[in-house]
Structure 1
């Protein structure tokens, strides 16, 4: 069955209370002062939320958008402190790929982070010439691997015990939230496990984009792609199961892979997803549904595994 909608809100309802539409704007990520020692950047990060309650009264947890923004924010600091890039070089850098694996939910609290350099070498696959890969650990169980393409670093002295400077806002501390993403011309083909849409992006005035990875020009951001992936996933899932947001518990991200092609500077693009596998598992005497999906949004290719606790009818 094919269903068509002019706007995603016709499928998912009021955007003001949905995480992937507006809820992510209510999160605040605070990276506290860290120390670079023995080629490892370590410190504390806290997560706060000041938005509407979850529809079923469930505890608020950190989502895919926050983990991605945090990874890019920490990668910006690591490029400066550990690789030797200038702020101008960091602003012209771009995400190559990102892998997130979550073994436990991250709730609203302070936790530790650690960043290590996995590699930093010249690469024929990197348009600016160099690719640096960082391993990031959030808490004790959640891991992120992120690769950034950038210019060759300037030769400047790196203090092995340099402290992290947090004196300004940057794109992935707050600027990524100053954007409007419109998902239109939505097509849901339930029997083929497919969904597609036309996407428009509007950057609001006053966005603090003077620093951070990819802040030189307005382009489609990884967080923009996740906003679209998440809503297309929910639209297809809810339509297939005949439920709505109020009858579906929190959907948990388990794994995420995001790869970027050449940046897109236009204000519109296409998006599509495909469900590959859906299976039921038992965890702590509770039934969970796991879904694997993939898709594209603009220049981003994504693969995900998500899960939610099944509601017995």
Structure 2
């Protein structure tokens, strides 16, 4: 995994699969989140990274944070941004944010059936224990979006799908309900915005934290190619096979290649140049489609 950069005035405190976290040496209440070019799949960080990925993810996150800030009469979604400028050394791929008490839950919302949800549905007719109608196919739209939270595991371990009742045990009923409603509301707004750009937001995951006043705030990345599945709407409407329908603008290219070339034992193989280039191109295309 790439080594975090040394930043004057900042102390590196943590590295996740993609992001590096810093605290200021002066002890002020801000934090610095730097997006690297690392790419992960199946809970492993892969080599090599995707060139300019950090800038692409940060640009799309910042655009979405702005969209969710209350435009067009929508209710504003509080977030973790401070509005300050990141250091020049990481300009374009970093966010200055307030310190939050992060909730140990990934707030996952699915509007379409695919991935691990499709695998579970084939076996049990459910997604994360939620019963679904018979006869669905891979890539189908669900009758309505569903909230399927996951417990955030430490780095290197697998996140665990959990029930809503389990989230109540972890964070309390009031906060669990607030988290679920916030995730479903943001997904609905984002899916509508994506549809206006000819895209389908198939699923996504959000992370939230609580500030010193007890306010729930959207944090980390939001609605990026790493945290979401985006499909081309025209391909979905006209495709006859899952691969044709789910023409993706995310890291599905990486997932598919890895699934075909690795048995999930030991160290993952290095990504070929072709896979890296194709993935980078899809990330750039999504950013252009959404923000232009």
TM-score normalised over the length of structure 1: 0.28
Between Structure 1 and Structure 2, which shows a larger proportion of helix residues? 2
TM-score (norm 2): 0.30
Q: Which has the higher contact order (CA 8 A, sep 6+)?
A: 1
Q: Which has the higher strand share?
A: 1
